Structure 1
């Protein structure tokens, strides 16, 4: 009896902690970003150590994120061909055209252009799930689509870089880090999440482990932002003048893509949750996974990681705004809109 009471109290405590974090997650992320900036400015020597933590931190983030969605619902969401097709078409047909138009005003600097194209042509596969959920979108559908999005960008990115920048820039990008990212950041966490769910169905200890992991998505996203920004912000400081040229393009992308994705979702008559999910998967970019790719570039492209991380900083501010704009004005509930 005492053990049962203690166990229930522990479960209630974890549930309260999780609820508290979810209600305040935007503030938690803002605090993580502020701490990362302070660390980068005050202790720039820690950047190399933190850079080595990016991949494992991302892997843990995706593991606890995948655990949020039961695999029964995940399989059902993946069979939603209309949404998956809309996400692929918007990200790999519409977005490249928009990005090409937006970058016409940029100076002809190969490293700057390569960084902008690398990050804007690759749809997000990690914290897009969190922000979609915050906006009342179908996070399960986004989660189910992430493997297809990653595989598609693996194939499409070299082709688009060759088309937009020529063979030299395309050849500079090695596919190895992308394959490594898929195996370590997607396939491994997804497999471990599946094994954890199977364990939880058969064992009380497994169920307890899964419940304990339930409060980690918000802290892990905060840790990921801290690690990425603190490790890469010194690069931006060294080349601020050159990187600043990309900021208007990033802002314009955040403004232009939501109504376009909204129009696509409405034309396909997707449910409200899926329309919101389509907006976020069309706008949020894969900066955290592209960063290792940028760091692996040869000499002459040292500016690219700073260009990529700058997009992360712009996008985070945009995501906070979009979690409010999308459900209130861009894709409101149909019942509320009718009233």
Structure 2
């Protein structure tokens, strides 16, 4: 990853601060439209990077793939909703934002922590397209299953958000890759990839500049998201460790499983949340706050993985890296 990608958390946090400072200034009358445009451009860049032809590679290590899918898309939604209901039941919007963050596996910066902890980078690269496709398909289904009884889900808005934020950028990205010759395609992908973080930051800036006042009014709810997130990371990291030991994973496989089941894809969830919950800004704000907690924890967990390897506290199937 280049320097900009490594500084992604700092850039996003800066966008949050600048947006809050500008919250008393009427910057634009059509902030929601700007947010949608910036997020569509970001998702378009993401789809340009994903090589769907590599999807079959996800199934080469069947044991790893099945284990990660069960944790990410069966265990995590159930566990995430349970701990969210315990700690965030006082505010439905924060609960929905927390839940959307929890159930979307990361598709970018988890690779940094995989490499940092000496995991199997190729294994995590191979499963990336599968994680992306499944979370797009399952996210609206999970929202309907867990929250439709609370009368908090507008089905038409979810369909609309999937159309605007997912389907149109996906089709546009595939057309772009089909039309451009190889040399231009690679150059376009690299340029747009470098701009993704700036598109996301502009969207975040618009969110906080328009909702900064509400953020301060509900700061107590945002503080409460810390505890369930920390519990999620601690419990899932232990689950990953015990399962890896039980099914005889190698150390690199253990690290890859840990990172792909802990790191979350907040930009995609944020894009869907902004359109699906237009009158519930705390859903989006919870998703923006999430990475500010997540990234330091992932760094600590990467060091914890290395400590386990060096101390040989757990004897994995193979220590060769």
TM (norm. structure 2) is 0.74
1:119 pairs with 2:101: yes
1:1-339 to structure 2, matched below 5 A, reads 21=2, 26=6, 28-44=7-23, 48=31, 49=34, 52-61=37-46, 63-64=48-49, 66=50, 75-103=56-84, 104-169=86-151, 171-172=153-154, 174-184=158-168, 189=173, 199-200=181-182, 206=183, 210=186, 219-220=194-195, 222-223=197-198, 226-234=201-209, 235=211, 236-237=215-216, 239-298=218-277, 301-326=280-305, 328-330=306-308
The alignment yields a C-alpha RMSD, in angstroms, of 3.8
Q: Is the 8 A contact 2:73 2:103 kept in 1?
A: yes
Q: Is the 8 A contact 1:124 1:287 kept in 2?
A: yes
What is the distance in 1 between the residues matched to 2:173 and 2:116?
Answer: 22
Gaps of 5+ in 2: none
Residue 227 of structure 1: how far off its partner (Å): 3.2
Q: Which moved more, 1:181-190 or 1:126-135?
A: 181-190
Change (3 A) 1:101 1:270: same
What do the CA deviations read for 1:261-294 (whole angstroms, capped 9, x no partner)?
A: 2322333333333322221121122221111221
Other structure's SS at 1:108 match: coil
What is the distance in 2 between the residues matched to 1:194 and 1:133?
Answer: 32
Gaps of 5+ in 1: 1-17, 201-205
Between the two proteins, the alignment pairs up a number of residues equal to 303
TM (norm. structure 1) is 0.71
Compare relative contact order (CA 8 Å, sep 6+) and give the higher one, 1 or 2: 2
Q: Is the 8 A contact 2:106 2:266 kept in 1?
A: yes
